Amino acid sequence: MTRPDTKTLLASLLADIERRNPAQPEFHQAAHEVLETLAPVLAARPEYADAGLVERLCEPERQIIFRVPWQDDHGRVHVNRGFRVEFNSALGPYKGGLRFHPSVNLGIVKFLGFEQIFKNALTGLGIGGGKGGSDFDPHGRSDAEVMRFCQSFMTELHRHIGEHTDVPAGDIGVGGREIGYLFGQYRRITNRWEAGVLTGKGTRWGGSAIRPEATGYGNVLFTAAMLRERGEDLEGQTAVVSGSGNVAIYTVEKLIALGANPLTCSDSTGYVVDDKGIDVELLKQIKEVERGRVGDYAARRGASARFVAGGSVWDVPADIALPSATQNELDADAAATLVRNGVKAVSEGANMPATPEAVHLLRQAGVAFGPGKAANAGGVAVSALEMSQNHARTVWPRARVEEELTHIMNGIHATCHETAERYGASGDYVTGANIAGFERVADAMLEQGVI
């Protein structure tokens, strides 16, 4: 039998993905971004194509959709939709966060779960890829309403998860409060103290040090590694950061710790520019304690800070850009502005925040670009470290977790850089991350047979 050439094979696979998964543009985008870099791998390793590995990798092992009914504080009944996509378990139990946001649908969850396969593989730890969530919006809801929703959500989800099966964590809209309510309901239903079933737990009852900080910290560490590869460091560099949630806050904190000057933060109302650099403690107070808006930060910070309603945070000139909010927030126009303003590095703290057109433009301009599946893997890496601590019923000191995270992020950078070199794409972290993650999962799948 004559094999089709790899480009023809991949084009056919992409067309098939779009046909079989209609109205899921984010999943199509994620699949295209990975598959378009795999031609040299499939040419060098034809056994991957012969075993149908790419086809199997692009089809989730399991997709779960369920109803989530709950009552608000006035007794009114609401019905949301819950999702869990268990994408690939070749390397270990499914691992990936839960997102509570009105935009959540099956296509969003599949895009996130697909990315998670490669991200988790790059950590070198024994975790597969999955993702989940709901179109529930926790904003403006009381603690009691959030608790009732989480309890209803877990009442269905609990039958599909477990520390050796699927281990969810947090994502947008799911922080320590939500993880606590979810774990409480899991424990209530199962009558088991299975600490390793969820990560992102409170540090007093099974959580790991620096888990909330890990994604933001990790992205800054990856950025620092990219700059070192070019003979520079973070000291004295200015940075523009989008978002003001968990990832953005701790991105700002780590930038400051490494001597950089973060100038911005943002939310759905607009963005803040602070000429003195973002005051991370004030930002934490407003966003984590008061659940306020970035406009409140500007009002309380003083003359150095100004709030810009709407607009684009990427209009602010800086040496480094760290998109840390949500998918497709940095488009081609924004990328062109960053390039004109002399940006040196762009690294994705959020999942797929740069559009394909933006990524192409940045790479073409010679900007060091860190794709999310590599750059924001710090969160899931520390989640896996939390699982290790839970399994041993022990707690590691903060310094040890930080040391492990630094080692993992530097290892991810080295793996991506070396893989790109090996396939003739020097300095292309997108190609390096995609191929390195794919090879690790594909080899495991090959050895485990057609399942």
Position 28 pLDDT exceeds 70: yes
Dihedral sign from CA coordinates of 35, 38, 43, 48: negative
Whether 134 contacts 61, CB under 8 Å:
no
The proportion of the chain whose per-residue pLDDT surpasses 90, expressed as a percent, equals: 96
Quickly count: other Cβ atoms within 10 Å of residue 131's Cβ.
31
Predicted local distance difference test score (pLDDT) of residue 200: 96
User: 77 and 162: one domain?
Assistant: yes
Quickly count: other Cβ atoms within 10 Å of residue 122's Cβ.
27
Select which of 95, 110, 119, 131 is catalytic.
131
Residue 279 lies in a domain: yes
Quickly count: other Cβ atoms within 10 Å of residue 191's Cβ.
7
Residue 451 lies in a domain: no
Position 2 pLDDT exceeds 80: no
Residues 245, 213: Cα–Cα separation, whole Å: 11
Average pLDDT, whole number, for the chain?
A: 96
Segment 108-136, tens digit of pLDDT: 999 999 999 999 999 999 999 999 999 99
Order across the sheet with 270-274: list the strands: 264-267, 270-274, 305-309
User: 118 and 262: one domain?
Assistant: no
Give the residue from 119, 70, 69, 128 showing the smallest Cα distance to 95.
128
Segment 186-200, tens digit of pLDDT: 999 999 999 999 999
User: 220 and 312: one domain?
Assistant: yes
| Residue 110 annotated in active site | no
Decide which of 375, 401, 421 is a domain's last residue: 375
Predicted local distance difference test score (pLDDT) of residue 6: 87
Give the residue from 227, 224, 153, 214 showing the smallest Cα distance to 184.
153
User: 227 and 145: one domain?
Assistant: no
User: 48 and 69: one domain?
Assistant: no
CATH value at residue 247? 3.40.50.720
Segment 41-67, tens digit of pLDDT: 999 999 999 999 999 999 999 999 999
Segment 309-357, tens digit of pLDDT: 988 999 999 999 999 999 999 999 999 999 999 999 999 999 999 999 9
Give the residue from 378, 370, 346, 98 showing the smallest Cα distance to 212.
378
3-state helix, strand, coil in the chain (%, to 5): 50, 15, 35
User: 141 and 229: one domain?
Assistant: no
User: 225 and 356: one domain?
Assistant: yes
Predicted local distance difference test score (pLDDT) of residue 7: 86
Residue 380 lies in a domain: no
Give the residue from 350, 344, 355 showing the smallest Cα distance to 241.
350
Predicted local distance difference test score (pLDDT) of residue 3: 65
Residue 447 lies in a domain: no
Segment 365-423, tens digit of pLDDT: 999 999 999 999 999 999 999 999 999 999 999 999 999 999 999 999 999 999 999 99
| Residue that the structure tokens 């959500």 belong to | 153
Residue 248 lies in a domain: yes
Arithmetic mean of pLDDT, 416-445: 97
| Residue that the structure tokens 């893989």 belong to | 419
User: 174 and 323: one domain?
Assistant: no
Residue 303 lies in a domain: yes
* Contacts of residue 438, Cβ cutoff 8 Å, sequence gap at least 6: 34, 38, 41, 57, 118, 121
Residues 75, 150: Cα–Cα separation, whole Å: 16
Q: Return contacts of 331-334, CB within 8 angstroms, 24+ apart.
A: 331/355, 331/357, 331/358, 332/357, 332/358, 332/361, 334/358
User: 184 and 248: one domain?
Assistant: no
Residue 414 lies in a domain: no
User: 230 and 369: one domain?
Assistant: yes
Give the residue from 193, 265, 212, 249 showing the smallest Cα distance to 97.
212
Residue 64 is classified by DSSP as E
What does the DSSP assignment read for 291-336? ---HHHHHHHH-TTEEEEESS-GGGS--SEEE--S-TT-B-HHHHH
User: 361 and 258: one domain?
Assistant: yes
Whether 293 contacts 317, CB under 8 Å:
no
Range of the domain at 43: 6-53
User: 142 and 254: one domain?
Assistant: no
Domain count, the chain: 3
Quickly count: other Cβ atoms within 10 Å of residue 137's Cβ.
15
Decide which of 162, 193, 224 is a domain's last residue: 193
**Number of separate helices (H) and strands (E) present in the chain:** 18, 13
Burial annotation 163-189 (CB, 10 A radius, 16+ → b, else e): beebbbbbbbbbbbebbbbbbebbbee
